[in-house]
Every structure is written in structure tokens, then in C-alpha cells.
């Protein structure tokens, strides 16, 4: 019971206006993230989604703890992760922890989410570099090996990864999420695991991202279907660029020479003309949402704009993202995107 009460209490602080994005001697955005979304046990809380926790959120939190050299936070986050979602027998993580129908809190979906596994392994490798600890590296190696052995697929001569262990194969077709492709992790894994495998996954995943862009705006789809030699929008989900695919631009921006979809410049042009970034793009009918996207989207596009030389636009977008975080204090996802997009 104390775990959920802690989660609600954290989010109530936000509703009461007690946590703000501030400057000077007051808390940094990272400190605000911890106050807003990390309970005392090390659970990262998604306040907008029933106070659940995800393997993705634990991975993001651990990566950020390394980025901000916060070992105490890292150890707390990692301990909760081990104690609560490391419940499978294959070194992957249950992807969702929350309130069950019985009212008991615990794992509610034992399937894994490949991006969560990769983020956690990446964070452990970075932690080992920053605070040398063989346990971090050895655990990361087991996770990486399991991803390679349990989630790899071959499609049209390409080596790719499924989004999860169950539910993404339809006879001879595969459902894939381009935003689960974390290129920097593949490069790191190639140095310590099967080099040829991870180098091919990196190269083929870059090709997949290029093939996963649709519509007049040429933006990546949240979900795609691999069928024969074709990549198409997955119509089992909404045919959108949106909440998922925004991370395609984030992860590409971490690369030395990012190969962004051509839709990046088109979306920046929309922002310049309309004054806002749409919440989604319908790639099937070329329509855009008239609802503004959350601040995390602005931070990601700011980082991408900086990488293509749009320095002034990047500063403007980052400024708007930071200001708007003050009014989205329950938005765990935007805080993650903002902090991960910062240099």
C-alpha cells in the first residue's frame, strides 16, 4: 500500500503547484523530475496513466541518473527495477507495473518491451563506466544476450528486433515500432557482445526508419507492418506520427551524423508558419492535429533542429519547452524527453 500512496503523494505535489521549473538556487529540472515522478522506493511514476510504472520509465530514470552523476538515485531506481519487474526467467523485464483488477499493486503485464530492456542495459553500461561495478556490466551483458537471442527477426535480408516477445508476429508479417530503435545502444552493445550482429542491426534499423516514413510530410509512423518486401503503416493502431515516433528524432539526434527523415524540416516549417507543433500527423490522409503537442515534443525538435544547424530555432523551441513544462507538471513523458534532449 505504501508504494501507491507514495505515487499519489508525488503527483499531488504537482497538482498543488509545489514543484516548478525554476532558475538560480532552486531545483534543477532533474531535481524536479525526481520530486515529481520518483517515489522514495525508486519507482518512476507515470501520473497521466493511472500511476503505473514501465520498464521504459525505469530505463529513462537510470540513464538520467548517470547523466546527472546521481549515484544515489541510480541505485534506488535500479533496486526497485530488480525487486519488482525483473520477474521473467529470460533476463528481460516485465514492461508494466501498476494496480491489478484485484486492487493489489504489482506486475500487470509480464510481456517485455524491447526498448525498456535496451534502455536499462544501456544505463547499466554507462553506470559501469562512471562508477565501475562488475555487477552493472555483467547484468547488462545478460540482458543484451537475451534481447539478441529472444527478440531478433530476419526480414527481407535485414536483422531487426521485435518490440516485445509476444504479440507482434502475424503469420509471415511483423509489427515493429520504429521508436524502439535506439542506435546509440546498438553501437555500445557491439563493443561488448556479438559485434557483427549489432552492427547489422544498427545498419538495417537505419534503413527501416527511412522506409517507415509516409505521407506528404514524410514522417515516421508510430507503428509499421513488415510484409514481404514492403513496409507499411500498421493499421492495427492509429496511422499516426505522434506519441511514439517522436522518439525517432530523439534517438537519431544522439548520433554523430544523424540521418533524419526529410519530414524534420517540413515539421519545423509547419511550426514556423503555424506557431505550434501538432500533436499528431495522420499519415494515411495527410491531416494534422490542431491540438498543440506537449513540451517534450518541442524539446526533441529543438535538439534535432540544433543538429541540422538551425541554432536560433533550436533555442526558441527549447525555451518554449522549458516554459511549458511548468504547466504540465504531471507529464512524466515530457520531462523525460526534455532531459534526454538536453545536451
Q: How far apart are CA 134 and CA 28, in angstroms?
A: 31
Active site residue 149: no
H/E run at residue 64? helix 55-67
Q: How far apart are CA 173 and CA 260, in angstroms?
A: 26
User: Is 98 within 8 Å of 108 (Cβ atoms)?
Assistant: yes
Q: Among residues 266, 269, 175, which one has the least CA distance to residue 223?
A: 175
The CB density around residue 261, as the number of other CB atoms within 10 Å, is: 23
Q: Among residues 4, 112, 14, which one has the least CA distance to residue 58?
A: 112
Q: Cα–Cα–Cα angle for 332, 333, 338, nearest 5°?
A: 100
User: Is 77 within 8 Å of 126 (Cβ atoms)?
Assistant: no
Q: Is the Cα torsion angle 169, 218, 54, 120 positive or negative in sign? A: positive
Looking at 56, 91, 306, 328, which residue is catalytic? 56
Give Cβ neighbours of residue 53 (< 8 Å, ≥ 6 apart).
Answer: 43, 44, 45, 46, 84, 85, 96, 97, 98
Strands 281-282 and 287-288: what pairing?
A: antiparallel
Report the SS3 class of residue 44.
strand
Looking at 46, 115, 204, 282, which residue is catalytic? 115
What angle, rounded to 10 degrees, do the helices at 332-341 and 246-253 form?
30
Beta bridge partners of 287: 282
Report the SS3 class of residue 282.
strand
Active site residue 115: yes
Residues with a known catalytic role: 56, 115
Amino acid at each position: 500500500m505504501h508504494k501507491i500512496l507514495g505515487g499519489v503523494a508525488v503527483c499531488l505535489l504537482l497538482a498543488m503547484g509545489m514543484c516548478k521549473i525554476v532558475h538560480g538556487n532552486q531545483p534543477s529540472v532533474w531535481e524536479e523530475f525526481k520530486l515529481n515522478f520518483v517515489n522514495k522506493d525508486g519507482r518512476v511514476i507515470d501520473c497521466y496513466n493511472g500511476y503505473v510504472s514501465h520498464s521504459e520509465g525505469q530505463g529513462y530514470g537510470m540513464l538520467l541518473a548517470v547523466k546527472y552523476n546521481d549515484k544515489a538515485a541510480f541505485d534506488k531506481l535500479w533496486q526497485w527495477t530488480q525487486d519488482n519487474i525483473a520477474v521473467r526467467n529470460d533476463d528481460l523485464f516485465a514492461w508494466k507495473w501498476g494496480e491489478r483488477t484485484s486492487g493489489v499493486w504489482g506486475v500487470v503485464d509480464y510481456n517485455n518491451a524491447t526498448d525498456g530492456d535496451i534502455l536499462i542495459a544501456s544505463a547499466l553500461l554507462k553506470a559501469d563506466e562512471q562508477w565501475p561495478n562488475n555487477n552493472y556490466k555483467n547484468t547488462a551483458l545478460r540482458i543484451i544476450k537475451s534481447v539478441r537471442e529472444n527478440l531478433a527477426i530476419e526480414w527481407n535480408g535485414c536483422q531487426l528486433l521485435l518490440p516485445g516477445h509476444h504479440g507482434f508476429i502475424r503469420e509471415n508479417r511483423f509489427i515493429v515500432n520504429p521508436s524502439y530503435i535506439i542506435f546509440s545502444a546498438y553501437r555500445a552493445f557491439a563493443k561488448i557482445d556479438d559485434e557483427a550482429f549489432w552492427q547489422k542491426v544498427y545498419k538495417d534499423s537505419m534503413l527501416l526508419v527511412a522506409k517507415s516514413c509516409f505521407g506528404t510530410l514524410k514522417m515516421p509512423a508510430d507503428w509499421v507492418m513488415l510484409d514481404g518486401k514492403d513496409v507499411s503503416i500498421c493499421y492495427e493502431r492509429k496511422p499516426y506520427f505522434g506519441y511514439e515516433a517522436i522518439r525517432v528524432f530523439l534517438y537519431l539526434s544522439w548520433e554523430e551524423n544523424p540521418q533524419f527523415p526529410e519530414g524534420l524540416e517540413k515539421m519545423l516549417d509547419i511550426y514556423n508558419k503555424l506557431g505550434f507543433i501538432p500533436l499528431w500527423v495522420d499519415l494515411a490522409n495527410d491531416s494534422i492535429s490542431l491540438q498543440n503537442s506537449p513540451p517534450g515534443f518541442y524539446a526533441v525538435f529543438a535538439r534535432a533542429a540544433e543538429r541540422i544547424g538551425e541554432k536560433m530555432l533550436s533555442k526558441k523551441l527549447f525555451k518554449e519547452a522549458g516554459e511549458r513544462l511548468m504547466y504540465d507538471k504531471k507529464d512524466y513523458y515530457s520531462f523525460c524527453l526534455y532531459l534526454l534532449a538536453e545536451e
